[in-house]
Amino acid sequence: MHYLLRLVGVLAWALWLGGLIALALFVIALFREDRATALVAAPLMFARFERAQLLFAAVSLLAVGGLRLIEPRAVHSVIFTFFAVATLALVISATLIRPKLERLRVEGESAGPQFRHMHGQSMALYSLQASALALAALFIPAAMNRPEVKPAPMPPTPQPQTAPPAARPTAPPA
């Protein structure tokens, strides 16, 4: 079970962080190459990846939470905390920021100050997610190693007497 939870947790984490990085790189490149296409495609890319992120976040949290239950170690708590921070940023972005950005875009207000302000908030939340997931990466190798289980110390066994046996008493000379 340990192995399965570690494997699933690391795969979900890798897809989440890797997807965030790939999405940023693709959107930046798209805006540089073809702004008109980017204005249509980028919102769709963010919306679709947002759903995937929610899945990756849930799987990551469940896997590390499961590890914390069956093998309570500080490293699991640290990783869980970083995943929780990234998940919180994701949920705020998905529920409070992106829907408003989409509404402003549809209304043709994407050049306005409110859109720019909310876009900045969105970028900050994405940066927070990526940073929290990258910091978790520093602790993942330690979590992958199972702690050495040292056997309980054995009680000391009585040591045999090492003194030579006493000589038999002899009779005094006559």
pLDDT single digits (tens) 66-106: 988 888 888 889 999 999 999 999 999 999 999 998 899 88
Residue 172, pLDDT > 90, answer no
- The CA radius of gyration of the chain, in Å to the nearest whole number, is 30
pTM of the model: 0.77
Phi, psi (5° rounding) for residue 92?
Answer: -60, -45
Longest dimension (CA), the chain: 131
- Residues of the chain above pLDDT 90, percent: 55
Q: At what angle do helices 2-33 and 35-70 cross, to 10 degrees?
A: 170
Residue 147, pLDDT > 70, answer no
Distance, in Å, from the CA atom of 126 to the CA atom of 52, rounded to the nearest integer, reads 14
Cα–Cα separations (whole angstroms), residue 78 to 15, 25, 121: 20, 28, 26
Distance, in Å, from the CA atom of 46 to the CA atom of 24, rounded to the nearest integer, reads 9
Number of residues that this document lists for the chain: 174
Distance, in Å, from the CA atom of 48 to the CA atom of 52, rounded to the nearest integer, reads 7
Distance, in Å, from the CA atom of 129 to the CA atom of 52, rounded to the nearest integer, reads 14
pLDDT in tens, 34-73: 999 998 999 999 999 999 999 999 999 999 999 888 888 8
